[in-house]
């Protein structure tokens, strides 16, 4: 019976989440119910729950996780103060003379927004409201316009400083140390959020470049009559462009640069980002009391959700291991033909499918702690694994018919755009993301080269 308990526990949680029950309560509730049943039947040691208090205390005092509310605050501040709108307007006036200029502007502004907010839904909705009507008015094909916006919105998963990478970095750090302790290494090496940020930079830039090349080629070969004059209704002004572009760029470089060059921890850099976002809002005279209130409420809501889920996932993981679930997964992977390669493919397929119904926070806290230690014990590089998981989830969020990014865009797109066009527009970008995943499997150094150069 004990052999079936971990699988039954996971399936019960999965069904409850599908039914729409709150994630945090489902994780903790299912775990405690199974712990009670296991105690009654003598297959679970209730003393294992005694470790829960120490785990929860460790969560709320985790220095790395303090970066989450600060990064969320930075992103929400840049979103609420309309920085992206100014960027889109000024960059479109710069590139507006080219038929593909507006689409390129959307990708570049979306990448900056993604790096600033790290939240897929916020970026997709913001870019849809700002850019979609302008692109359609200029004569862009609906499929290309919606595909460009939804794909650009998902860049928040991989372009640092990303909340997804902060959470993945913390979870993989714990998994990496656990894997080494299980192997009898009592002075384990560590991997940091900064390592993961450095590993994600090259793949993230490659995706942006591929998006730009695809858009340019598509428009070059298409017969769409794009009116570049409709893309921007203002003349190019270099001072206006610099005023719009410099603050968010300097802010992102300050945050990333301080982490990558070792001047600040991710938490300290997040503080720099939050303070810098406030200064930008003040300098642009867009930070009113009502805006500050909205920013604070959004930050509190998002942070509370993340930590509530993290607490539930911690209890779930504790009970899952109490039933021997981690040992079963280890044995399952060891028995697979093809070894670590087959195990990686299976895990990536499962994560990809779960991405249709679960948010990246839930997958990061539930799935990665279970499979991470096993894969890392098999010799998988933790930085490479984190980058691949992030891009895999990004691909899942964009893939029809269940991709979250497509749902967000459908919610704000005009009714004249058919859902079919949104799906078909996203498919080429899904193909580009799959291409990056394949290249990462063939050439892992795409993700590991920069961290190795920076940190040895």
User: Is 28:311 a contact under the CB 8 Å cutoff?
Assistant: yes
pLDDT the model gives residue 224: 66
pLDDT the model gives residue 52: 83
**Average pLDDT of span 41-56:** 84
> In this structure, what token pair is assigned to residue 153?
């919105």
306 has a pLDDT exceeding 70: yes
Per 3-state DSSP, what percentage of the chain is helix, strand, and coil (rounded to 5)?
Answer: 80, 0, 20
Instruction: Say what the pTM is.
Output: 0.83
User: Is 364:171 a contact under the CB 8 Å cutoff?
Assistant: yes
pLDDT tens digits for 111-127?
877 766 666 666 787 77
Following CA atoms 11, 12, 17, 21 in sequence, which dihedral angle do they give, to the nearest 10 degrees?
180
DSSP 8-state symbol, 207: H
pLDDT the model gives residue 384: 94
pLDDT the model gives residue 98: 67
pLDDT tens digits for 376-410?
888 889 999 999 999 998 898 888 877 888 888 88
Share of the chain above pLDDT 90, in %: 17
3-state secondary structure of 133: helix
């Amino acid at each position: 019976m004990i052999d079936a308990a971990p699988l039954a526990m996971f399936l019960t949680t999965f069904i409850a989440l599908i039914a729409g029950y709150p994630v945090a309560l489902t994780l903790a509730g299912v775990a405690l119910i199974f712990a009670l049943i296991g105690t009654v039947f003598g297959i679970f040691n209730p003393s294992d729950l005694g470790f829960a208090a120490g785990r929860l205390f460790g969560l709320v005092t985790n220095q790395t996780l303090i970066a989450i509310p600060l990064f969320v605050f930075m992103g929400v501040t840049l979103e609420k103060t309309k920085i992206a709108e100014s960027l889109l307007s000024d960059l479109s006036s710069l590139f507006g003379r080219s038929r593909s200029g507006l689409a390129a502007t959307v990708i570049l502004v979306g990448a900056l927004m993604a790096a600033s907010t790290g939240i897929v839904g916020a970026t997709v909705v913001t870019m849809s409201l700002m850019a979609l009507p302008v692109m359609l008015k200029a004569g862009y094909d609906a499929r290309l316009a919606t595909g460009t916006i939804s794909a650009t919105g998902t860049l928040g998963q991989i372009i640092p400083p990303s909340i997804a990478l902060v959470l993945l970095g913390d979870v993989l750090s714990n998994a990496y140390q656990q894997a080494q302790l299980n192997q009898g290494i009592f002075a384990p090496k560590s991997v940091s959020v900064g390592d993961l940020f450095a590993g994600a930079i090259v793949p993230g830039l490659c995706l942006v470049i591929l998006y730009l090349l695809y858009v340019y080629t598509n428009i070059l070969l298409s017969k769409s009559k794009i009116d570049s004059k409709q893309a921007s209704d203002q003349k190019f002004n270099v001072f206006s462009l610099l005023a719009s572009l410099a603050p968010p760029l300097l802010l992102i470089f300050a945050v990333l640069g301080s982490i990558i060059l070792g001047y600040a921890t991710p938490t300290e850099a997040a503080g720099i980002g939050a303070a810098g976002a406030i200064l930008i809002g003040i300098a642009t005279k867009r930070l009113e009391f009502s805006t500050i209130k909205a920013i604070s409420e959004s930050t509190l809501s998002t942070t509370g959700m993340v930590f509530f889920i993290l607490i539930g996932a911690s209890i779930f993981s504790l009970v899952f291991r109490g039933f021997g679930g981690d040992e079963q997964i280890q044995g399952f992977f060891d028995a697979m033909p093809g070894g670590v390669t087959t195990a990686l493919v299976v895990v990536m397929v499962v994560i990809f499918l779960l991405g249709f119904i679960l948010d990246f926070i839930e997958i990061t806290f539930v799935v990665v702690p279970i499979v991470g230690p096993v894969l890392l014990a098999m010799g998988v590089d933790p930085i490479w694994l984190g980058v691949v998981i992030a891009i895999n989830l990004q691909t899942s969020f964009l893939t029809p018919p269940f991709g979250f990014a497509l749902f967000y865009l459908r919610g704000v797109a005009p009714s004249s755009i058919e859902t079919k066009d949104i799906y078909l527009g996203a498919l080429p970008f899904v193909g580009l993301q799959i291409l990056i995943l394949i290249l990462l499997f063939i050439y892992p150094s795409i993700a590991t080269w920069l961290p190795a150069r920076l940190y040895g």
